[in-house]
Amino acid sequence: MRTLYLHIGNHRTATSSIQSFMAANAKTLRTKGILYPYNTSRHLKLMNQLFNGQKTPQEVAKDLEFRAESKNFDIHSILLSDEDISCRADLSVLAEFRKYFNVKVLYCLRRQDLWLESWYFQNVKWQWKPALCHLTVDEFYAKRAEFAWADYKSHIQHLEDLFGRENVLLSVFERGQMPGGPVETFAKTIGLELDDTFTTPPKRNASLTPVVSEMMRCLPLDEAPTDYRVVFDRACGKVDEIIRATQPESAGSLILSHEQRQQVLDEHAAGNAWVAKRYFDRPDLFLDPVPGETAQVSELKLPADSYEMMETLVAPLVRALINAHIAKSKQ
């Protein structure tokens, strides 16, 4: 029986970089006995079809087996990746795959205060959910209970009930706990040793600086078609590069107050301790120090001077959009 690895997230744990790496190296992976199917970096469409009933696990399993058998290599493992899985309350449909595969679930944990800050930036950046993408930090913070998957103990207990504890493979998103970085750590989790036959795509989906994020928060990008949002996101990325180069002191990512940060950590302390003891046999899940009371917190605000805002944000943004239009017209 082949192994099916389900990479379910969490968001903001280098999932885009991992998916980009796997997709770029799909051919090389097959020589190692691993199938990353469907010629896509992320299996979002497939997962949506499974959860809304358009496809059954039996149908998908049959197709995956056919694809594995059709390769010129001995495929022992199949890998599917979609971080949105971690946001779903009931993953029982995926447990049906245990009838056809040896299923392993890969889940990466980021400390909840840092995750919440990164999740805020991501919602503002991509604006797929109107109810969240235009909120201030304090307004977003007040809605943190909506992100139930940040309760790692509860989420992992659900995974254990469906797949068995021995099939839940956890990693912790901290530099010291990921020697070699997130991609190498992920590879080792599925028994893959990276060598010089693999290519390394550039990092994906980094958070924006606070000032660029605040500019995007004020824009109605959630009203735009996806293809236009992608163009706009790339243009904002160009502005972000300029800000980082000319104002490196403004690139801080801490946006929660000390009191908010401590409250988040207190809310999840017991659950995190349970995960730490159960999976890592230690008292603490996260080992990096928590920012203290004197840590600098970035203010999310636009320049008060209108000419400064035009010079530092609006003009570079328009220039980036013009250059993108010119480049597209030459294709």
Q: What is the average per-residue pLDDT within 172-195?
A: 96
CA distance 170 to 114: 18
Span 114-171, pLDDT tens digits: 999 999 999 999 999 999 999 999 999 999 999 999 999 999 999 999 999 999 999 9
Cβ-contact 211, 302 below 8 angstroms: yes
CA-closest candidate to residue 41, choices 72, 16, 10: 16
Span 232-273, pLDDT tens digits: 999 999 999 999 999 888 888 899 999 999 999 999 999 999
Q: How far apart are the first and last CA of the chain?
A: 47
Residue 7, burial from CB neighbour count under 10 angstroms (0-12, 13-18, 19+): buried
pLDDT score recorded for residue 205: 65
Q: What is the average per-residue pLDDT within 32-48?
A: 98
CA distance 127 to 223: 9
* Main-chain dihedrals φ then ψ at residue 147, nearest 5 degrees: -95, 70
Q: What is the average per-residue pLDDT within 323-329?
A: 92
CA-closest candidate to residue 107, choices 7, 5, 16: 7
Architecture of domain 3-113+148-189: 3-Layer(aba) Sandwich (3.40)
CA-closest candidate to residue 112, choices 78, 79, 149: 149
Span 271-291, pLDDT tens digits: 999 999 999 999 999 999 999
Cβ neighbors of 143 (< 8 A, separation 6 or more) are 132, 135
CA distance 240 to 237: 5
Would the pTM of this model clear 0.75, i.e. be above it?
A: yes
Cβ neighbors of 236 (< 8 A, separation 6 or more) are 125, 208, 212, 215, 216, 317, 320
